[in-house]
Structure 1
Amino acid sequence: MTLENVVPWGRNLEEYREMFRLSDKDLQSNILGCGDGPSSFNAEVTKLRCNVISIDPIYQFTKDEIGQRIDETSSVVIKQLQEHEDDYVWKKIKSVDALVSIRLNAMRDFLEDYEDGKKENRYIHQELPRLSFDDESFDLVLSSHFLFLYSEHLDLQFHIDAILEMCRVARQEVRIFPIYDLYNQKSQHIEAVMERLLKQGFQAKIVKTDYEFQKGANEMLKIKKRLCDISKPSKL
């Protein structure tokens, strides 16, 4: 990975709450964020004295390098948003200017927290589909705007490998948002992924969320480990 291929774009805690339907109880759990990038989620959750680790390949770079890349790419992103305004829902976020302000503030908060977070092992340079953590290291594992969104670039096998790896390190749940691709269509991989999860013994369902900015993209995939059938007598 080279920084020249990265377009940093960060989201905040309020958006994470809506995307993943995160309750206060959820935030008190041990959380892993996969592909958090320059979002302020980790910084804000840490201020609440909760536990979160974020992984992303961008964390191999320094604060100054990431900050410079944000400066280099922001104008390009703004222009793309202006050219494709009809692809988005301007309801809670009223305009391109309002969106840019939210994103830049989130990335500023990330940069202010980044060096402390690196020292505290809250920002770790890793990437799916392979994680270094032990089985069931986290209560809740999240993935925002990576899996399914880039279905044209990441094939079905990558999605299966990445999601099963997230399930491996999750004690309770995995949540993935959105399930739509870059063309505002439901991902071509979603049905096959859900079928594979069922065969592997997981419960997977699509859940409506309180967040819709990309038109139609207001659902997440929620995955739980299937509980044993308690109606069957145990063998002593």
Structure 2
Amino acid sequence: MNKEIPAYPQSGVASTCRSYDEYLQMFNLTEERLREGPVLDAAGGASSFTAALCALGLDARAADPFYGGDREAVISAAEAEIGVSSAKLEANRAFYDWSYYGSPERHRALREASCARFAGHFRSDEGNGRYAAAALPNLPYADGTFSLALCSHFLFLYADQFGPEFHEAALRELLRVVKPGGEVRIYPLISLRWEPYAHLPGLLEALGELAEASEMPGRLPFVPVQSPVLRLVRR
């Protein structure tokens, strides 16, 4: 761990509420790329990305075990997580780059707005069937369903909870559900201790027959240690 920067304190996996614009910045995306075909948000939590894509007339799905059970309980859990995560950020606000969000208060307001948009879509008839209660590495989609699969703040971030075998299986599953020539993008490539994921070179070597790997710069300044985006193009 970087001894000058405290690790982010997290027990279990958080389900956070990120917005469409945050996804564009994190994953270095454009609307034109999103219009190329169906999009999957894997481990999507309570983010409003799927709702925003559907509002644009695009085909989008999200998968997360968080979606199982009573809908109102899911939404309440997402709302509660905003308060928990905001308190953690406030405690270590000096270590974060606030140039995008402006302040911890505005960061929380954006999370609340994103959660409200997610909740509206999650409850709606239009959102019905778009949110699968499913966990990596077992997704309920046919081979080659998507043009693009994204995974934000899950793989690599929880390196202390999930081993390299899990990560390889998860990446293989994401590659399975994208079509040949389709992409998987993962962000960030660091752990909650702000350390680069040590097993990434070995994983990419193991996946070499399935995908061409490269890194792209992210466009969202925030966390104490900046990370690139992993881009895997299915062969």
Q: When the two structures are superposed, what TM-score results if normalisation uses the length of structure 2?
A: 0.88
| 2:30 is the counterpart of 1:23 | yes
Deviation string for 1:53-97 (max 9, x for gaps)? 000101113332023223434333222111121332111112111
The number of aligned residues is 222
Residue of structure 1 in register with 2:152 after alignment:
144
CA-based RMSD: 1.8
Question: Could you tell me which residue of structure 2 aligns to residue 92 of structure 1?
Answer: 100
- Name the structure with the higher helix share: 1
Task: Say whether residues 1:113 and 2:121 are aligned partners.
Answer: yes
- The superposition leaves residues 110-145 of structure 1 with CA deviations (integer Å, 9 ceiling, x where unpaired) of 001102267631111111011121111111111011
CA distance in 1, matches of 2:107, 2:174: 30
Shift, 1:202, TM fit: 1.7
Q: Which stretch of structure 1 is more off in the superposition, 64-73 or 148-157? A: 64-73
Measured against aligned partners, the alpha-carbon deviations of 1:129-188 in whole angstroms (never above 9, x if no partner) come to: 111211111111110110011111110000000001100111111100111111111112
Question: In 1, are the aligned partners of 2:188 and 2:227 still within 8 Å (CA)?
Answer: yes
- DSSP 3-state at the match of 1:120: coil
Contact 1:212 1:218 (C-alpha < 8 Å) held by counterparts: no
**1:205 maps to amino acid:** S
Check if 1:215 corresponds to 2:224.
yes
| Bigger relative CO (Cα 8 Å, ≥ 6 apart) | 2
For 2:173 and 2:30, the matched residues in 1 are separated by 24
Structure 1 residue 203: Cα displacement: 0.6
Counterpart in the other structure of 1:174: 184
Matched, 1:184 2:194: yes
Give the ranges of 4+ consecutive aligned residues of structure 1 lying more than 6 Å apart after TM superposition: none
CA distance in structure 2 between the aligned counterparts of 1:55 and 1:206, rounded to whole angstroms: 24
Letter in structure 1 aligned against 2:57 = R
Aligned CA distance change for structure 1 residues 5 and 215 (closer, same or farther; 3 Å)? closer
Kept in 1, the 8 Å contact 2:79–2:115? The answer is no
Give ranges in structure 1 of 5+ residues lacking alignment.
Answer: 227-236
Distance 1:113-1:181 versus aligned 2 partners, 3 A rule = same
* Pick aligned residue for 2:233 from 216, 221, 224: 224
Q: 2:195, 2:160 → 1: CA distance?
A: 11
Correspondent of 1:205 among 194, 205, 214: 214
The aligned residue for residue 50 of structure 1 is 58
Q: Percent of aligned pairs with the same residue? A: 27
Which SS does the other structure have where 2:184 is aligned? Answer: strand
TM-superposed CA distance for 1:6, in Å, is 6.0
The two structures have a TM-score, normalised by structure 1, of 0.88
1:52 alignment partner AA: A
CA shift at 1:50, angstroms?
0.5
Unaligned runs of 5+ in 2: 1-10
Choose 85-94 or 25-34, whichever is displaced more: 85-94
The Cα shift of 1:216 comes to 2.4
**Higher-Rg member (1/2):** 1
State the alpha-carbon separation in 1 of the partners of residues 77 and 126 from structure 2.
Answer: 19
